[in-house]
Structure 1
Amino acid sequence: MRKSLACFLESRDNNFNLVRFIAAFGVLLSHSYALSIGNNATEPFKQLVNMSFGHIAVDIFFISSGFLIANSLFVKKDLANFLWARFLRIYPGLFIAVIFCVFIVGAFFTSYSLIQYLTDAQTYIFLIKNTVLFFGEEASLPGVFESLPWSGVVNGSLWTLPFEVKAYCLLVFFSIAINRLLIWSNGALNERLIYLLIPLLGMLIYITNHFFTFLPISYFASEDFRLYSLFFIGTACYIFKDYLILSEQIFYPILFTLLASSINTELFFVVYNVTIFYVIFYIAYIPKGWIRGFNKYGDYSYGIYIYAWPVQQSVIAFIPGVNVLELCVYSFIGTMFISYLSWHLVEKKALKFKGKIPFNFKKS
């Protein structure tokens, strides 16, 4: 089968729900190693290719998001509806998750008295920053999980969400700026080329910094370039959807090259970063049949992602010395239950308000 990516956008029948679900489980699995012993050095993927499965899962989220969000923005061409839809997908579920962390997990596990905990400013810094996201995430609540191997961090998974929300804003900014540039240049500039140069430049800086550290505060700056570049790789794939061919004649050689490159971690790093987007889109669109039946169950990936960490920390607090396998099993069961409730009682209901922008918001 040789079809362009554009051919698959005509239908919403794809494997993205399953891909994101596996990625979310991968984050939970990866964190099971890190949280149970205080670091992720023993994780199999980390030992094999010097890259945790959680790292790979986040990359999957950002590339997929960049593609799907670009589709939403450029097809509808309605900025107000676009922003409202993004708000509905991120914030209602997140708000309940943060409330869960503060007033259930935190209040139960804090070493402070309940009065001290509820009157401590840090409690509300955690609540506000993790609800707003634009000011980054806040990891700790007063007196919570301070004696655990990964001490003091109540929900470490939330660190990527500010990047996600800011990526949406950057996409809007670039779309407006590029449109203005095209008008100003009277068509002399190539729109597709500009959208391609954004992630190429970002990824070049990220890969170069990996080998020759030069960015200030290198780790955090590197994460900026990594995540935004991945998001805009997804966007570029949408822009080039008519030219990006999904074919097993391309997929299997890429997959073989990727697997073969794992013999050297530095080689794998480069090959992975320039091929992972193709692997994601091939798996998301090509396999059919019974695998598509997963879509009827709902989209639990977001719930798994935002609830897994506090559930895992709670399991460790309840069962000191719990091993990686036990932690993974117990926390998956608990997280899956909460994610089921989150999807059906919060996220799915919120999404019904897409296209129904509050009057004042739409007017403004």
Structure 2
Amino acid sequence: MRQLRLLAAVAVVIGHGYVLHGETPAPRVGGIPLHTLGLYIFFTVSGYLITSSWNRWPNLPSFLRNRALRILPALAAVVLLTVLVIGPLATDLTLSEYLTSYPTWLYLSGVLLVPQYELPGVFVSHLSPAVNGSLWTLGIEACCYIATALLGVALRRFAWAGTLILGVASIALALQPAGGPLESLRAVGAVCCYFAIGALACHLRVDRRHFPALLVVCLGVGWLALGAVNAPVATMCAWVVVPALVLATALRSKNSTSKVDVSYGVYLWGYPIQQLVIQVNPDLPVAFSVALTILFTLAVATLSWHHLEAPALGLKRSGKLGAISRLRSKPALRASTA
């Protein structure tokens, strides 16, 4: 599923590029903006994989440690480098004013999944002064991880029922009317429902046999056609069609021999790099600006993977192997002391 996650991350970068250049609406697929569709793909895949991980190794401390090792090191790096490198280079303030400003250091709360979006004097002349608008989803995804584990602990083999209830509640949030008291939670409900659908598919052991090729093609073509004529209805249909297309693609794809996974790094770095490209050359055509952003982002994400994310995942694997070896050694220990 690495290729699918990378495709989703690049879609987020492209969509954000159009928005940050003021080229709205961003390109749409099935009535959904490209960057939003990328998020839906991410959350669907994440729901499936995270639930699969829990089902294989239902140990709460190990699960939480492994999720932290996957998310936090790369997140800490992007937050720290944003404050200490991007901020001083891009701010309109003097270095002294920037470093003594309280919001500068408040931005570090992003390491704890409490994102701040602006830095003093940074990108203030842009259409959006947000330094990294992509960070808003990380806390939500972490909450989805915790919910997966808690449902597994509390309900065990009936965790699918709890997942279904949370999915229905998420759809209810996503359908909140504009101007209503819960309007701000619509985007949260939308991404959470895709996570729940992916998780439910894992619980129900959905596999590629459930996605005949002809059915998948018909769903995709019909959804694209509907998006061209009635985007609101296509958006609602996407709750069924997008997870079906994502899972059909992922479950049919062959396992890659490469262990490199730069999708998370692309997601983390795409937004601030796009803002820097705009700052350096605001008159660059949007297509060229987005292309440059993707190239720079892939380079930074590759460095992040090899020097930060992969070593952190090595700790995750060694911890699991250590736990397995301890479990295997216990019977021998008991036998030797009997």
TM-score w.r.t. the length of structure 1 is 0.82
Alpha-carbon separation, structure 2, partners of 1:76 and 1:234 = 18
Shift of 1:201: 3.8
Summarize the alignment of residues 150-189 of structure 1 with structure 2, pairs less than 5 Å apart. Answer: 150=128, 152-179=129-156
Structure 2 counterpart of 1:31, from 7, 13, 16: 16
Shift of 1:157: 0.8
Can you list the C-alpha shifts for 1:159-214, whole angstroms capped at 9, x where unaligned? Answer: 111111111112222223324xx8xxxxxxx65444323313422x14543xx457
8 Å CA contact 1:261, 1:271 repeated in 2: no
Can you list the C-alpha shifts for 1:218-256, whole angstroms capped at 9, x where unaligned? Answer: 1x2112221222111111111111577232143122223
Match of 2:98 in 1: 117
8 Å CA contact 2:174, 2:188 repeated in 1: no
Shift of 1:332: 1.2
Cα gap change, 1:342 to 1:144, in 2 (>3 Å):
same
Match of 2:164 in 1: 196
Q: How many residues align?
A: 318
Shift of 1:322: 1.7
8 Å CA contact 1:207, 1:270 repeated in 2: no
Shift of 1:215: 4.6
Cα gap change, 1:58 to 1:242, in 2 (>3 Å):
closer
Cα gap change, 1:242 to 1:302, in 2 (>3 Å):
closer
Structure 1 counterpart of 2:38, from 57, 71, 85: 57
Q: Which runs of 5+ in 1 are unaligned?
A: 1-15, 183-189, 359-364
Greater relative contact order (CA < 8 Å, ≥ 6 in sequence):
1
Matched letter for residue 240 of structure 1:
L
Alpha-carbon separation, structure 2, partners of 1:92 and 1:202 = 29
Shift of 1:345: 0.6
Match of 1:286 in 2: 252
Structure 2 counterpart of 1:236, from 200, 207, 213: 200
8 Å CA contact 1:36, 1:322 repeated in 2: no
Alpha-carbon separation, structure 2, partners of 1:208 and 1:144 = 35
Structure 2 counterpart of 1:66, from 28, 47, 58: 47
Can you list the C-alpha shifts for 1:25-66, whole angstroms capped at 9, x where unaligned? Answer: 1111111111112xx524231xx7542100000011111111
Match of 1:3 in 2: none
1:140 maps onto 2:104 in alignment: no
Matched letter for residue 144 of structure 1:
V
Alpha-carbon separation, structure 2, partners of 1:355 and 1:274 = 34
Match of 2:223 in 1: 258
| Partner secondary structure for residue 258 of structure 2 | helix
Alignment RMSD, CA only? 2.1
Moved more, 220-229 or 67-76: 220-229
Match of 2:186 in 1: 222
8 Å CA contact 2:11, 2:38 repeated in 1: yes
8 Å CA contact 2:30, 2:223 repeated in 1: no
Alpha-carbon separation, structure 2, partners of 1:320 and 1:213 = 33
8 Å CA contact 1:304, 1:335 repeated in 2: yes
Match of 1:86 in 2: 67
Percent of pairs identical after alignment? 27
8 Å CA contact 2:219, 2:241 repeated in 1: yes
Q: Which runs of 5+ in 2 are unaligned?
A: 321-338
Alpha-carbon separation, structure 2, partners of 1:304 and 1:89 = 14
Moved more, 246-255 or 22-31: 246-255
Match of 1:131 in 2: 111
